[in-house]
A and B are shown apart, each in its own frame.
Chain A
Amino acid sequence: MTQERQFGNTILNVENVSLSFGGVKALDSVSFDVLEGEVRAIIGPNGAGKSSMLNCINGFYKPTECTIAFKGESHHQMETHQAASMGIARTFQNIALFKGMTTLDNVMTGRNLKMKKNFLWQSLYFGPAVKEELEHREAAERVIDFLEIESIRKTVVGRLPYGLQKRVELARALAAEPEMLLLDEPMAGMNHEEKEDMCRYILDVNEQFSTTIVLIEHDMSVVMDISDRVVVLDYGEKIADGTPDEVRANQRVVDAYLGVKHD
């Protein structure tokens, strides 16, 4: 980043999140905060608890103890639909799209929470329901245009290459007009060019819609390039937190990634 970026207040505050699967401690008293408008990365070696962290934030996992405050409202245990209606949208590490539906229909499902008319109105497709449908279609089309996926609008998602499916998943998340976007390894399995495109889109989303972004990523060069601040987890513990440069210089982070000699 060439110029100093300005961020707003704390949008998400995570305090002392602990999560266990039986005897395994996936997360152990992890705390960090996310500011409005920033790109926040969570990194760490395999099994460090990154995805678990994301799953706790959007209520998919129920941590044993924690305080998670989103926009000042704190919740002990949040349901996923609560998270979604509060303005948190996410993508998954292993794409979770409706494979038999077209790109457009998938993106439209992202609008679901914004639809006011009930199932009966929608199935009759009459009067106000038509108007509503058209409004949502327009919003979906804006996202399609933004991510440049016009040519696959009517293609069944299951037939698309991996890189494009990832983009469709981002489109669906964006269609919900979230305030905060959780991206779980958005660039996994992509080639260099696809990664560059995806970075561009993430930064564009962040700048154009001022969406706060929390992402997990393995590709270090990507993380260091696009994120404003980085949290590093290792064995469920937070071992570092700061700007990419600070994190890169941190000895514990280097050890976590490269390993340390045991005497």
Chain B
Amino acid sequence: MSGDNAGINLTDTFPKLLAHNALTLCDRVSIREKAFGIWQSWTWSEVAEEVRMLACGLKSLGINDGDKVIICGDNRPRLYWSMTAVQAMGCIPVPVYQDSVAEEMQYIYEHAEARFSIVEDQEQVDKVLEIKEKLPALEHVVYDDPRGLRNYNQPFLHSFQDVQELGRKHNSENPGLYDDSVASKSGDDTCIMLYTSGTTGRPKGVMLSHNSIIITARNASNMDGLTDEDSILAYLPMAWVGDNLFSVGQAYTTGICINCPESSETVLEDLREVGPSYFFAPPRIFENILTTATIRIEDSAKFKQRMFHYFMGVAKRVGIDILDGNRVAFIDRLLYSLGDLLVYGPLKNVLGLSNIKLAYTGGVAIGPDIFVFYRSLGLNLKQLYGSTEACVFISMQRNGEVRPDTSGKAAPDVDIKIADNGEVMFRGPGTFQGYFKNEEATRETKTDDGWVLTGDAGFLDDDNDLHIIDRAKDVGKLTNNDMFAPNFIENKLKFFPQIREAVTFGDGRDYVASFINIDLESVANWAERKNLAYSGYTDLAGQESVAELIKDCVEKVNADLAVDENLRSSQIKRFLILHKELDADDGELTRTRKVRRNVITERYSELINALYSDASHCEIEAQVTFEDGRSGTIRADLQIRDAKVIGSNQSVAAE
């Protein structure tokens, strides 16, 4: 990238990049949003104008250099523009998960000392109003969608348009203000603050610089050959680092076109309409898509089912080799092309994945079967390993070197090493600046020479591919001193479509035991075909035959674990099926759906005790939070079951 001009870098911050793109990519589409059933587009030069007016409007409301601005809502063009506008005024945007409840938000508002907040709609405004009294620092709230807000006449509430109108006036009165403000910042300044959901304790504000995001984004685009012809669907939360890298970082540095879905319920339909060429989804989404497709195949005519299974067999045999460019027999190539015409092509089309050039998954391990399924369809799905503290990319798989069980090699310019205790450490351009107002945590995580501890245990294999085992602090020991890696086992369980969530226990115990959440969609469909009657989640989860189904899965996992010398004693001896889904609203999962072990251990201690006793059932009362914020209790009597364990390891055979 050329941009150096007499020592001043013209593309080292996002507002500067925007000005640059408005000149070089002026009439190319920067962002689209579906409104009133039609995709509306804005070109780069239009975006630059919108951002300038908003920035000047915020200035005339009194925003000062260094202020933190909370941004909260679904992926909307105006909220993306808000981030750049805030940065242009020398301030720091703080995107917040839009489904957080008011108390969770209050902590972030207080901790970030936010004076301004820009939110999407009435729902978010209501949440702010609920906590406004307790936030003396908060002065102005700007909203994007005015629907339902006409009777809100609080003086600190402003519509997006009104602020831009103020900005238009302010801009004409102070013509040089915007450009001067943009020029005064450089790549080392803080670009954004992201609160990590944190499986333990309060969220921490990760500060990232413009350079970190811009360089990481550019490296990733270059490595995968992305260009301004590519497009992406921006549907993952704006408060998540990935969205900032893909939908902001790579969009600004590479010119990728962003598409905002109409609403969170229409994402799959919008995916089909947009047909993006670049796609990121956590494994859960790939699993869901596959589950839905499988269910529909099972409901289809016999002939179609046979055709599907035959060609999926062909794809499994040769698909990946074709994708990787290896030698494949002519007849197989021919069969694969026929399969593409009859099965793979239509399937990808229905899923909205026809145009995909590149897809990534990460966050948690993806089931090898699922991973291979997509790749054999000819979809270039790759895995990456990353964290907020690294601006996403720590390691990523290269084309032609994709294996289901690794997270790939170190990302460009990133160094990876393994600490003595097995913890993965990295150093690179994306390294965060520090945790906001938390020197202590920063020092614990980041060494003086720039290495960052990820908190994940892993190892590098002979090809220098990174394997992640588990959260380092979660790895424990059974009483016989064998290693116990809960996540590793849970992931194996979750690879079964019938199991949505699992929590395993074993640290300091004689054997491994597990809580299991069934996957309602998948198990309900199975129950329907078996003619099983049930009234709801709790009833279905408590059925005898469902328990047998799950027991089957657990025993398959046990068989898998028994093969490995180190993991043999980690076989699951006892398990129970929970009567309710673990939920972020109840504090049992983080907003990114990671299990909060301490909360679960505390809340379900009776159940855990029962798992480590002879009891065959246990009664439990659980607090649940309903969608509308009220809470209630569910009472249930849960059956505890033994699963068959394989092998004659002593701790298991002791029984």
Q: Which of A144, A146, A193, A207 is within 8 Å of B37, CB to CB?
A: A144
Alpha-carbon gap, A240 to B177, bound state (A): 66
Residues of B within 8 A of A104 (CB): 37
Give the complex CA separation of A153 and B147 in angstroms. Answer: 20
A150 proximity list for chain B (CB < 8 A): 37, 262-263, 265-266
Contacting pair A151 B269 (CB below 8 A): yes
Q: How many residues of B contact A (CB 8 A)?
A: 15
Closest-by-CB residue of A relative to B267 is A151
Which residues, 96 to 140 on A, are CB-close (under 8 Å) to B? 104, 137-138
Which A219-261 residues have C-beta < 8 A from chain B? none
Q: Is the CB of A145 within 8 A of B265?
A: no
- CB atoms of B150 and A151 under 8 A apart: no
Q: Is the CB of B265 within 8 A of A208?
A: no
Partner of A208, one of B38, B150, B263: B150
Q: Which residue of A lies closest to B37 (CB)?
A: A141
- Is the C-beta of A79 less than 8 angstroms from some C-beta in chain B? no
Please, how many angstroms separate the alpha-carbon atoms of A193 and B262 in the complex? 23
Q: Once the chains bind, are B266 and A151 in contact (CB under 8 Å)?
A: yes
Majority SS of interface residues in chain B?
loop
Chain B residues within 8 Å of A142, by CB: 36
- Provide the main secondary structure of the chain A interface: helix
Q: Which residue of A lies closest to B265 (CB)?
A: A151
- Bound CA–CA A200/B263 (angstroms): 19
In whole Å, how far is A159's beta carbon from the nearest beta carbon of chain B? 14
Closest to B151 in A: A207
Shortest C-beta distance, A202 to chain B (Å), equals: 13
Output the residue of B36, B262, B263 with the most chain A CB within 10 A. B36
Beyond A141-B36, A150-B266, is A193–B150 a contact (Cβ under 8 Å)?
A: no
Closest to A204 in B: B148
Give A65 Cβ to nearest chain B Cβ, in Å.
43
Q: Which residues of chain A are near B262, meaning CB under 8 Å? A: 150-151
Contacts of B627 in A (CB 8 A): 193
> Are the C-beta atoms of A153 and B37 separated by less than 8 Å?
yes
Asked if A148 is at the interface (CB within 8 A of a chain B CB), the reply is yes
A99 to B316 CA separation, bound complex (whole angstroms) = 42
Residue B173 interfacial (CB < 8 Å): no
CB distance from B254 to the nearest CB of A (A): 30
B36 and A148 form a contact (CB under 8 A): no
User: Which residues between 600 and 655 of chain B lie within 8 Å of chain A, taking CB atoms?
Assistant: 627-628
Contact B263 A151 (CB under 8 A): yes
Residues 120 to 152 of chain B near chain A (Cβ within 8 Å): 147-148, 150-151
Residue of A145, A200, A204 with highest tally of chain B CB at under 10 A: A145
**A207 and B150 in contact (CB under 8 A), knowing A150-B263, A151-B263, A151-B265?**
yes
Minimal beta-carbon separation of A143 from chain B (angstroms)? 10
Minimum CB distance partner of A200 in chain B? B148
**B269 engages A138 (CB within 8 Å):** no
Q: Is the CB of B269 within 8 A of A137?
A: no
Q: Tell me which residues across on chain B come within 8 A of A154, comparing CB atoms.
A: 269
Q: Which of A133-174 contact B (CB under 8 A)?
A: 137-138, 141-142, 144-146, 148, 150-151, 153-154
Beta-carbon contacts under 8 Å, B20-46 to A: 35-38
- A137 and B150 contacting across the interface, CB-CB below 8 Å: no
Q: In chain A, residues 187-216, which have Cβ atoms closer than 8 Å to a Cβ of chain B?
A: 193, 200, 204, 207-208
C-alpha gap A146/B147 in the complex (Å): 8
CB distance from B326 to the nearest CB of A (A): 41
Which residues of B in the span 256-290 have a Cβ within 8 Å of any Cβ on A? 262-263, 265-266, 269
Q: Known A204-B148, A207-B150; judge A193-B628 contact (CB<8 A).
A: yes
In the complex, chain A residues whose CB is within 8 Å of the CB of B148: 200, 204
Bound Cα distance from A200 to B35, whole angstroms? 22
* Distance, CA A42 to CA B223, complexed state (A): 68
User: What is the CA–CA distance of A137 and B36 in the complex, to the nearest angstrom?
Assistant: 9
Given contacts A151-B269, A154-B269, A207-B150, 19 further A-B contacts (CB under 8 A): A104-B37, A137-B37, A138-B36, A141-B37, A142-B36, A144-B36, A144-B37, A145-B35, A148-B263, A150-B262, A150-B263, A150-B265, A151-B263, A151-B265, A153-B37, A200-B148, A204-B148, A207-B151, A208-B150
Interface residues, chain A, CB within 8 Å of chain B? 104, 137-138, 141-142, 144-146, 148, 150-151, 153-154, 193, 200, 204, 207-208
21 example contacts (A-B, Cβ-Cβ < 8 A) are as follows A104-B37, A137-B37, A138-B36, A141-B37, A141-B38, A144-B36, A145-B35, A150-B37, A150-B262, A150-B263, A150-B265, A150-B266, A151-B266, A151-B269, A153-B37, A154-B269, A193-B627, A193-B628, A200-B148, A204-B148, A208-B150
Of all A-B residue pairs in the complex, the 5 with the closest CB atoms, nearest first, are A151-B265, A141-B36, A141-B37, A151-B266, A150-B262
